Structure 1
């Protein structure tokens, strides 16, 4: 791959395994609502499109479809309250993330985060896990009028850093990241381990798929 001038990185499923906290909050929410728990395995397939979408999926017990609006209106404040208290208690960085960030920083890449997670959760999570300081810009799901898979957050970051899209790479884990990168004219690298609704990310045809960010040094060596 051509050496980029800027690298943007997704958070959930790419840098951070946040499902343990999200699943805890989903199940606690369901308990308060008098409903059966969903379980971590189901939540792992549902994450990636923001907490509102996650709550809707939990209420109907599946990826696609819509709950009753009254049910959603009752559930969302409960989830937000729970997640504010449990943003990073169980979440962990994936193996290789620290080494990958160290390589990218050492190689002089400008680094940013682009996530669909709301800023009120993104910023504490990155700080609590000790990596916020490495990113010159964090674009959260509510920073701009549109979020991934729309290219707006990526193009916003490119403008912030003064970089052309063709000189930028997105690192993510889902088809949403691939679509956003393609629409923005970015290169796209995907992690094999992330959240993509149970589908193999290779089917989305990113430029490369890696198992650990440790592999970035060899991938970007050229």
Structure 2
């Protein structure tokens, strides 16, 4: 855990999903392998998938096709196949990271309203949260298809703050990648990153953030006493 300087008057927290609350690499790999099989293309190893997740399904599919040197013109067929297969594997090959429910309860105990904001499609995100018993923590859930632009654009954070009724400067972003940090900086939100997530295969501590935690319950410890 790295000490952070966070506002004492936080109202809310926005929490990323993949790589922050749930390790979904197995779900992504299973859906992509089924998609590639439909297109008579070779599978990709999970070690390669981890570098491609986090920027939305469109980016993941295009990156996967490029990885296997497929014709980019196959994108529409790949998209349709992925959308068909993902609901069948969603949550089947994934695990909640240790301490996540405890961390969310600790944030609620500090009086913070919680929203989940992910680049995963909203329907997939809601289904995964239900499957893992995490849906009850969040008053708002927004996916990558909820707004005109995705993280790292600040629009999703600003719109989520509006839905929560919280000021950006008083809304903490919790994520695992540069996408989350860049969006938070641009939106004017403080940001703390977990050290165990994906971050496109890059060291997360190299990302500009207000703090880093090795487990979600540590976030509550970083929060200053209320004034």
TM-score normalised per structure 1: 0.94
1:26-57: CA deviations, max 9, x gaps? 11221222221101111111100111111111
1:61 corresponds in structure 2 to 67
Q: Aligned partners of 1:95 and 1:20: how far apart in 2?
A: 17
Alignment of 1:18-167 (within 5 A): 18-61=24-67, 68-167=71-170
Instruction: Say whether residues 1:16 and 2:22 are aligned partners.
Output: yes
Q: Which runs of 5+ in 1 are unaligned?
A: none
| Structure 1 residue 100 displacement after superposition | 0.1
Residues 56 and 67, structure 1, Cα contact 8 Å, conserved in 2: no
Residues 119 and 140, structure 1, Cα contact 8 Å, conserved in 2: yes
Q: Aligned partners of 1:176 and 1:154: how far apart in 2?
A: 11
Residues 27 and 39, structure 1, Cα contact 8 Å, conserved in 2: no
Say which structure, 1 or 2, has more relative contact order (CA 8 Å, 6+ apart).
Answer: 2
Aligned residues: CA RMSD: 1.5
1:35-94: CA deviations, max 9, x gaps? 2110111111110011111111111118xxx96442111211111111011111111111
4+ runs deviating over 6 angstroms:
none
Q: Aligned partners of 2:215 and 2:41: how far apart in 1?
A: 37
Q: Aligned partners of 2:182 and 2:121: how far apart in 1?
A: 20
TM-score normalised per structure 2: 0.92
| Structure 1 residue 217 displacement after superposition | 2.3
Residues 7 and 169, structure 1, Cα contact 8 Å, conserved in 2: yes
Q: Which runs of 5+ in 2 are unaligned?
A: 1-5
1:6-38: CA deviations, max 9, x gaps? 100000110111110110111122122222110
Q: Aligned partners of 1:52 and 1:157: how far apart in 2?
A: 22
- The alignment of Structure 1 onto Structure 2 pairs a total of residues equal to 219
